[in-house]
Chain A
Amino acid sequence: MKVAARSASVLRVKRRVHLFGLSLLLAACGDEVHSLDAGTQNDATVAPDASTPADADTGAGLDAQGADAQGADVPVVIDPGTGRIDLGTVTLVNGSSESFDFELPSELDSFMIVIRGAEDSMFVVRHLDGPTGTLVTPDIPSEFLDVLLGPFPSQYKSPNRVVAQREGISAALFPNNPSVSVGAGSYTASLGGVRVTGQQTAPASGTVNVEVFYKVGSASSGRIDVGLYFSGAGGLSADSAPASPLMNAALEKLRTVYAQIDIEIGTVSYHDISSSYQTISSLSGPGNQLNEMFKLSQAAQRGLHFFFVDRIESPLGGVIGGVAGGLPGPPSGQGTTGAGVAVALAAANGDANLLGHVMSHEGGHWLGLSHTTESLLPGIEDQLPDTPAGQAGTSNVMYPDGNSTGALLSPNQGSVMRRHLETVSR
């Protein structure tokens, strides 16, 4: 199958009502099992400090409504410097698609490919060639250790690492390290997919929808809104959390950590979700609890969504302190299985510094960062030359240690996080 993408040569700047976002919200609330109880829904919003410009973007999102109205493949720009191209439907047969093309505009800074498909499958950009060369390849020879790199090891080891993280939706950010670059012109891509059945995977077949989000120009600073979701874990709710010393101290840590790479935390909103999510006990497979919880993210609000639970348990045994809905998470993906980050309050055990650390760490994943080094996979590190290697990385936020409260982010890590489409350029 060939998907021929067309591009408009002129970028148009528009601001639109969030009709698409609203429809996603309604879809999420239509789920009888996991919808919010009308009596418990409780949302509150706290605006950023008074120094924030009055016209700062608090909601003009990456709006798919515009693209649908104008037909597929035509770039739609909502915020200055960003745009979206709907590439429509791509078909996977026995785990992979045929190649398709798309065009990106001049002054391109970065772009993200978002793949949406069946919620029993994980997807990845299988290969990607552009004007500056090969970014993703399926042809890197296999090694023993590859079994531990997930279902797409060659893509993981590609010049621009891509990872399939959650079922149903997947995103990839280009470039995500300084050894690769992107530019205006024609790109050729194909997709891969696996269907998840229990602990096994099999090649996926079926259709997916593909979008490309891009940024033009270069932004040295950014701003991201934050949504906080409370299941009642730790006794916290949308009402009580704004006055919680624990939550405020953790948020302050998040602000401080992200400020060093010039990302400001913008509007903070507070939401209640069902208490059935206090313990997350299924992490993968169709209808798993983590995915269902992420789908409760408020579709009208963009940014980074944190879901506070008591604990996150693997059904096979073991617990984790937090988990991200994507590496990176999907832009404009509110209401989807990849829309947020889950943080376990029991793991923090009342320690605000540790809670803020886990928020910063999982938020870093969602915005596109890998671990500086994998503690379980010696020799596997991120692709950024300015992050410390191995055990020396404990000072870095992305070192995967639940005891180190390292607070540093490197300039390269900052570049990656600012390129994510949910980080609004300032």
Chain B
Amino acid sequence: MRTATFILVLSSALLTRGATAEPNIETLAAAVSSIDELPTKAQLLLLGADAEGRALLELANDDKRSAYTRMRAVSFLAWFDSQKSRDGLVRLLEDERSPVEELRIQALRSLARLEGSYGRARLERYLRGPSVPLRLAAERAMAATAAVRAE
């Protein structure tokens, strides 16, 4: 509800300014590629993301895009809970041949956020895995999940 209200307000404001770009994959890619801006879910939806996370997954899987754009797209999938995005994140996480390990790290983090305590078994598996960065990411995700439960 808060997101919907926010999108309404934001859309009105942008239309007032006459500055809206036609949302498409490239406007979404531009927003996702920002160096230091953290968009809200509402902003991503306005700029071309869809509720199921399909457009973000498309960016995440496009190996013609930069590693930076892809890892940011993966990190924002944490806000788009659908079977499609969960499946896509699992594939990215389990791609041991990925040349960009950060994609796997961010996929693990986003999945942990979407799955909450239901993803515990997966995190425990990565805690025992061979990749040190993934082990550390699993530790952080485990701690974050525990913190959310405590709240």
Q: A311-B102, A354-B68 are in contact. List 16 more A-B contacts (CB 8 A).
A: A145-B13, A145-B14, A145-B17, A279-B136, A313-B109, A317-B109, A319-B75, A320-B35, A320-B36, A346-B102, A349-B66, A349-B68, A361-B36, A375-B33, A401-B35, A402-B72
B19 CB-CB contact with A under 8 Å: yes
| Shortest distance between the CB of A254 and any CB in chain B (Å) | 15
User: How many Å lie between the Cα of A143 and that of B105 in the bound state?
Assistant: 40
> Which residues of the other chain, B, contact A358 by a CB distance below 8 angstroms?
35
B106 CB-CB contact with A under 8 Å: yes
Residues 308-342 of chain A: 1 if any B CB is under 8 Å from the residue's CB, otherwise 0?
Answer: 00110111011111111000000000000000000
| Shortest distance between the CB of A126 and any CB in chain B (Å) | 24
B16 CB-CB contact with A under 8 Å: yes
Query: Are A403 and B19 CB-contacts (below 8 A) given A318-B78, A349-B102?
Result: no
Interface residues of B in 47-80 (CB under 8 A from A): 47, 66-69, 71-72, 75-76, 78-79
User: Nearest chain-B residue to A346 (Cβ)?
Assistant: B102
Residues 272-303 of chain A: 1 if any B CB is under 8 Å from the residue's CB, otherwise 0?
Answer: 00000001010000000000000000000000
| Shortest distance between the CB of A353 and any CB in chain B (Å) | 12
B34 CB-CB contact with A under 8 Å: yes
Residues 26-47 of chain B: 1 if any A CB is under 8 Å from the residue's CB, otherwise 0?
Answer: 0000110111111100010001
| Shortest distance between the CB of B89 and any CB in chain A (Å) | 12
B144 CB-CB contact with A under 8 Å: yes
* Residue pair B34, A347 in contact (C-beta under 8 Å): no
| Shortest distance between the CB of A381 and any CB in chain B (Å) | 10
User: How many Å lie between the Cα of A229 and that of B79 in the bound state?
Assistant: 32
Query: Are A400 and B36 CB-contacts (below 8 A) given A313-B75, A317-B76?
Result: yes
Q: Is the interface of A mostly helix, strand, loop or mixed?
A: mixed
> Which residues of the other chain, A, contact B105 by a CB distance below 8 angstroms?
311, 346
User: How many Å lie between the Cα of A100 and that of B66 in the bound state?
Assistant: 51
| Shortest distance between the CB of A85 and any CB in chain B (Å) | 32
> Which residues of the other chain, B, contact A145 by a CB distance below 8 angstroms?
10, 13-14, 16-17
Which residue numbers of B lie inside 8 Å of A, CB to CB?
A: 9-10, 12-14, 16-21, 30-31, 33-39, 43, 47, 66-69, 71-72, 75-76, 78-79, 100, 102, 105-106, 109-110, 113, 133, 136, 140, 144
* Residue pair B75, A317 in contact (C-beta under 8 Å): yes
User: Nearest chain-A residue to B133 (Cβ)?
Assistant: A310
* Residue pair B71, A347 in contact (C-beta under 8 Å): yes
Query: Are A402 and B17 CB-contacts (below 8 A) given A318-B72, A318-B76, A349-B68?
Result: no
Query: Are A402 and B69 CB-contacts (below 8 A) given A147-B9, A318-B75, A320-B38?
Result: yes
> Which residues of the other chain, A, contact B109 by a CB distance below 8 angstroms?
313, 317
* Residue pair A401, B38 in contact (C-beta under 8 Å): no
* Residue pair B100, A376 in contact (C-beta under 8 Å): no
* Residue pair A400, B76 in contact (C-beta under 8 Å): no
User: How many Å lie between the Cα of A322 and that of B37 in the bound state?
Assistant: 9
* Residue pair A374, B35 in contact (C-beta under 8 Å): no
Interface residues of A in 349-395 (CB under 8 A from B): 349, 354, 358, 361-362, 365, 374-376, 378-379
Residues 123-152 of chain A: 1 if any B CB is under 8 Å from the residue's CB, otherwise 0?
Answer: 000000000000000000001110110000
User: How many Å lie between the Cα of A400 and that of B19 in the bound state?
Assistant: 18
* Residue pair A349, B35 in contact (C-beta under 8 Å): no
User: How many Å lie between the Cα of A402 and that of B16 in the bound state?
Assistant: 29
Residues 383-418 of chain A: 1 if any B CB is under 8 Å from the residue's CB, otherwise 0?
Answer: 000000000000000001111000000000000000
